Structure 1
Amino acid sequence: MNGATKGAIVGGTLLAMLGGAGYGVYTLVGDSGDQGDGKKSSAVGAAAHTPEKGSGPVSEKEIAETAKAFLAAWAAGDAPAAAALTNNAQDARSAVADYKAKAYVAKAAITAGTPAGTTVPFTVAAEITYEGVTKPLAYESKLTVVRGITSGLPLVDWQPEIIHPQLQRGDKLRAGTPASPPVKAVDRNGKELTAEQYPSLRPVLDALRKTYGEKAGGAAGAEVWIEPAAQDAPKRSLLTLVEGKPGQIETVLDADVQAAAEKAVGRFAEASVVAVKPSTGDILAIANHRRDGYNAAVLGGRAPGSTMKIATAAMLLDRGLVAADKVAECPATVPWDGRTFKNLNGLKLDNEPFATSFAQSCNTAFIKQIKLVGDNAALPKEAREVFGIGEQWKIGIPSFPGEVPDASGAAAAAEYIGQGQIRMNPLNIASITATARTGVFRQPVLVKASLDGRDLVRAKRPMKPGVAAQLVRMMKLTATSGTGRGAMAAVGGSDKGAKTGSAEVDGAGSPDSWFTGFSGDVAAAAMVEAGGHGADAAGPIVAQVLNS
């Protein structure tokens, strides 16, 4: 076979190489079939593996043989044979075929590790060759062997991350010349922002490239990337094959605040934080520490718990139903429309002002006001018209602007305390805090609107100065003697405020931890999935960012 390269399976190691003139052919050595030169083709060897039908859990032998045969077929570029060894032949066949044809894999050494139960880990040391340029691409992945539901055969449980760990359902591994040229993003002071120095900015930089790459005057090179399933999502670059000419994009991020945010979220799993400048709406930092790499800080949507009480309090204050110094009932429980709402740890306050109920995060003090409000649309309207929640924010990259849907009965009551159908992310809550801090909604921006002339969302009605003053006063009380005291004690100065939140999630053992706060002209909000009470996990993140 002219130009064909050789591979071998030695022990648990599968070595496969793609060669050949023009097309390139995966071959393996050590199988027993004849290629015409005394050697067996790996495709024949892989196809020769015939699994036997069985029942019950897969055996160690079945796991080892199925994994070995699948990896051999994949390495050989034999998509039909590899696909036949999985429980999703259609998707597997396409992915294996694309590995060579569309990801331009020229060589791949796949090393199987020690099985852990039904899971077999492996490493891939690949070489990508595109238009005469070759670069290495190394990564780790794993596969799991299961019993076919209808066939009874041992099969690889097909998941896209088998081909590459960053692939999600519907994603594709691709190489070539991308449509969008690369960009060089800089912070508000001209300092370059790279994914190597600020890892959680990777999805942000990818999104900036998709939005502004062609407008920034750069020229595309060649690279390997993840093509996302969603058409509006940015490509995720994995490897540069040929350097392009990047165009420069000026952001309003602050490298020092970003560095602090990166470090802060690194202390907790599944954590996100955003910092904004209340006087301008500039986004100073976006950071995530997540296994899936998702930019939950600006795209996520989860119930924000009691951090939503900032907006609820604004609505109640605006209607004159409560006042910071006015006594508000805070019983241990309160019923509404067939559901009983209660406070954390049986909290009950007697003859205390509403400011104390806010600072101590008394749920019932808010629920008690629903009958007096007499309008289920009051909170959604306040969130939208005063805080800009749910409007079409244009921050410079895709973002989710929050959602406070219309509800009735107990569901409407739950929204008063940030539960129910409300969906927020740290960007939304940081913006709510910034609005409360100044009394003016300024739509958050990552890139100044003047760069591309986009229109920013404006509040439909202003917050009354008296409402803003009381919100700031109550948030300061929360930071100094309320539920946020412990976390905010680390933040210097007296001009600081906070609000804690714990959001119950169906099926989760612990609630999501939420915390938001301000210090001077910086507002920040953080969320840690299943992190517990707001002050326990999200609180220290916000404090660390505010201290930067």
Structure 2
Amino acid sequence: MRSGVKVAVVGGVFAVVVGGVGYGAYNVLDGLGDSGVGGGTDSKATSSEVRTGPVTEDEIADTSEKFLAAWAKGDAAAAAQLTNNEGDAGPALTGFSESAHVTQAVITPGRATGSTVPYTVKATVSYGGKTKPWSYASKLTVVRGLTTGHALVDWAPSVIHPDLDKGESLETGESKTASIEAVDRNGEVLSKEKYPSLGGILDELREKYGQKAGGTTGIETWINNANADGADQTLLTLVEGKPGRVPTTLDAKVQAAAETAVKKYDKSSVAAVEPSTGAIRAIAGNPAGGFESARFAAVAPGSTMKIVTAAMIIQNGLGSANSPVQCPSDVTWLGVPFHNLDNFSMPHPTLKTAFARSCNTAFIKAIGPLDQKDKADTALVDEASQYFGIGRNWQAGVKTFDGDVPASQGAETAASYIGQGKIRMNPLNMASITATAVNGRFLQPYIVPKELDGRTFATAAPLPGGVSAQLKQMLRYTANSGEGTATQAMASVRGDKGGKTGSAEIDGHATSDSWFTGFSNDLAAAALVQSGGHGGTAAGPVVAEVLRAGP
């Protein structure tokens, strides 16, 4: 990108600023018709010779500069022609001024990294006699058109704003929902600025409870959600509405710890639940504002699922925490081999020590008798649903994916016992599973009191006598003994504590997902670090930091 270049709108007239000197907008566009801007739709080749190969540094600088100039000038048609998707880019760029009501803007490009050019937008939004400055950063990528050979901006809605996704648009006006003031369990105000991971949750709470809480509307700039039942995302507030107070179960101290913990790893998420009540005390993810893995992820949980498998073994009379089991380095189920990490074996393990070392083969061999009773394919399904509340349509006050343990066949059945196969979970699900093991019965996670709207919580049967005590014994041993895989991660956690590591292999990923779940006193937490490797290495420290902030 050429240094010292700014694309600006001043008083509704757009200009390029170079070294502080302004030039008329149309002068910026002089000669564009001869530079290949026309035909930017990648469909109108004008020469028999189409340039190929990677875009050059000069092409990246030239194309990005002209695109930003046309966008800043308010010439959506010219800017769209400089992209590889004119049909989608044109309306979106037009909406920047006509729907979002941006009246002034300065777009400042940064230094290109390869073919990607970052930039900052400093804008003024005006509506109904009210104005307010608006600043954010985004980026674009320059690619070569497949048919024209021209250098073009690779179009995506995020070019306009980083939070925009396909099918979404910017709008400024009177807000569609009433304002809220969400507070934690102690009355502390929860804001997106202080707790960025809560952005989506706060938007959803506003959508659902703003009017019920007595709030009024204001004037805002927002993203219209692509889903009809999705919550719009507020980006800028020009005039505050009167907020209605919405109580939540979140704990600001625990939430702050969760926000800090997930920043240590890319694509990480964590959730914390109070076993004695089901109250959600914290939920966070990195990157904040991205896909909310803590409540929406649907991925294999690895060996953290052995909590449920252990409960199933005990309830079906196949073993107990201190009964002997077999832990060879490998085992075959219907002709398919399964191995332990690094092919380790244990000479004389119990179910508790096999759980602590995360012996896969022990948890597969122990289920063998169920196969002879035609229960092997469904036993884990029944256990997860009937006692741990998985897949029971939770009514948390915000949307959640409530886990899925489907019936399986063949080798997938064995894989499911160790948290692979078709099983799908997220940190909120696994925190709830740990909370159920500790409490002895499932209490549905929730983030706002059910009295606020009279919704009905999901229920499940309590764990039969003695099962919870044995699960807690195994969790404690895994986090406190010298051979437990959770011991190192939980070393800094105080009080009555327990934990379980997990690593889940994902197709196409060179490194497994890192999982960890644990409890300390009356707080249970679970974390996922995608492609993080061993559970105790990445997800473990995330959970430990959250638990240390608890009671």
Q: Out of 13, 26, 31, which is 2:6 matched to?
A: 13
The correspondence of residues 43-192 of structure 1 with structure 2, limited to 5 A, is 45=30, 48=33, 50-51=35-36, 53-192=50-189
Is 1:489 the counterpart of 2:491? The answer is: yes
In structure 2, the CA distance between the partners of 1:10 and 1:128, relative to structure 1 (3 Å rule), is farther
Q: Which residue of structure 1 lines up, in the alignment, with residue 394 of structure 2?
A: 393
- Which amino acid is the alignment partner of residue 16 of structure 1? V
Q: Which residue of structure 2 lines up, in the alignment, with residue 221 of structure 1?
A: 218
Q: Out of 366, 390, 397, which is 1:369 matched to?
A: 366
Q: How many equivalent pairs are there?
A: 526
The correspondence of residues 517-528 of structure 1 with structure 2, limited to 5 A, is 517-528=518-529
Q: Per-residue CA shift, 1:342-381, capped at 9, x if unaligned?
A: 1112221122211111111100011113431222011112
- Which amino acid is the alignment partner of residue 144 of structure 1? T
In structure 2, the CA distance between the partners of 1:47 and 1:352, relative to structure 1 (3 Å rule), is same
- Which amino acid is the alignment partner of residue 457 of structure 1? A
Q: Per-residue CA shift, 1:51-97, capped at 9, x if unaligned?
A: 28422222233222222221122112222221111111111011101
Report deviation, 1:231.
2.3
In structure 2, the CA distance between the partners of 1:145 and 1:522, relative to structure 1 (3 Å rule), is same
Q: Which residue of structure 2 lines up, in the alignment, with residue 468 of structure 1?
A: 468
- Cα distance in 1 for partners of 2:5, 2:116 equals 14
The correspondence of residues 300-449 of structure 1 with structure 2, limited to 5 A, is 300-374=297-371, 375=375, 376-449=377-450
1:204 match: secondary structure: helix
- Cα distance in 2 for partners of 1:363, 1:532 equals 17
Report deviation, 1:233.
2.2
Q: Which runs of 5+ in 1 are unaligned?
A: 1-8, 20-25, 32-37
Q: Which residue of structure 1 lines up, in the alignment, with residue 477 of structure 2?
A: 477
Report deviation, 1:215.
1.0
Q: Cα RMSD between the aligned structures? A: 2.1
- Which amino acid is the alignment partner of residue 305 of structure 1? G
- Cα distance in 2 for partners of 1:390, 1:75 equals 49
Is 1:289 the counterpart of 2:286? The answer is: yes
Q: Which residue of structure 1 lines up, in the alignment, with residue 39 of structure 2?
A: none
- Cα distance in 2 for partners of 1:328, 1:186 equals 49
CA contact (8 A) 2:14 2:24 kept: no
Q: Which runs of 5+ in 2 are unaligned?
A: 37-45
- Which amino acid is the alignment partner of residue 402 of structure 2? P
- Cα distance in 2 for partners of 1:159, 1:304 equals 32
CA contact (8 A) 1:223 1:238 kept: yes
Is 1:456 the counterpart of 2:441? The answer is: no
Q: Which residue of structure 1 lines up, in the alignment, with residue 546 of structure 2?
A: 545
Deviates more, 1:75-84 or 1:277-286: 75-84
- Cα distance in 2 for partners of 1:171, 1:211 equals 20
Among all aligned residue pairs of Structure 1 and Structure 2, give the percentage whose two residues are the same amino acid: 52
- Which amino acid is the alignment partner of residue 33 of structure 2? A
Report deviation, 1:135.
0.9
- Cα distance in 2 for partners of 1:248, 1:40 equals 48
Report deviation, 1:43.
8.8
Q: Which residue of structure 2 lines up, in the alignment, with residue 41 of structure 1?
A: 26
1:487 match: secondary structure: coil
Q: Which residue of structure 2 lines up, in the alignment, with residue 205 of structure 1?
A: 202
CA contact (8 A) 2:269 2:427 kept: yes
- Cα distance in 1 for partners of 2:501, 2:220 equals 44
The correspondence of residues 226-245 of structure 1 with structure 2, limited to 5 A, is 226-245=223-242
In structure 2, the CA distance between the partners of 1:378 and 1:110, relative to structure 1 (3 Å rule), is same
- Which amino acid is the alignment partner of residue 108 of structure 2? T
- Which amino acid is the alignment partner of residue 490 of structure 1? S
Report deviation, 1:199.
2.0
2:489 match: secondary structure: helix
- Cα distance in 2 for partners of 1:190, 1:291 equals 23
- Cα distance in 2 for partners of 1:362, 1:368 equals 11
CA contact (8 A) 1:502 1:534 kept: yes
Q: Which residue of structure 2 lines up, in the alignment, with residue 3 of structure 1?
A: none
1:232 match: secondary structure: coil
- Which amino acid is the alignment partner of residue 494 of structure 2? G
In structure 2, the CA distance between the partners of 1:544 and 1:118, relative to structure 1 (3 Å rule), is closer
1:488 match: secondary structure: coil
- Which amino acid is the alignment partner of residue 462 of structure 1? P
1:419 match: secondary structure: coil
Deviates more, 1:130-139 or 1:222-231: 222-231
CA contact (8 A) 2:255 2:283 kept: yes
What stretches of structure 1 move > 6 A for 4+ residues in a row? none
Report deviation, 1:151.
2.2
CA contact (8 A) 1:18 1:108 kept: no
Report deviation, 1:393.
0.5
1:269 match: secondary structure: coil
Report deviation, 1:39.
6.2
Report deviation, 1:12.
2.1
The correspondence of residues 241-252 of structure 1 with structure 2, limited to 5 A, is 241-252=238-249
In structure 2, the CA distance between the partners of 1:39 and 1:269, relative to structure 1 (3 Å rule), is closer
- Cα distance in 2 for partners of 1:416, 1:130 equals 58
Report deviation, 1:18.
5.5
Give the TM-score of the pair, scaled to structure 2: 0.91
1:485 match: secondary structure: coil
- Cα distance in 2 for partners of 1:465, 1:29 equals 75
In structure 2, the CA distance between the partners of 1:225 and 1:79, relative to structure 1 (3 Å rule), is same
- Cα distance in 1 for partners of 2:464, 2:526 equals 23
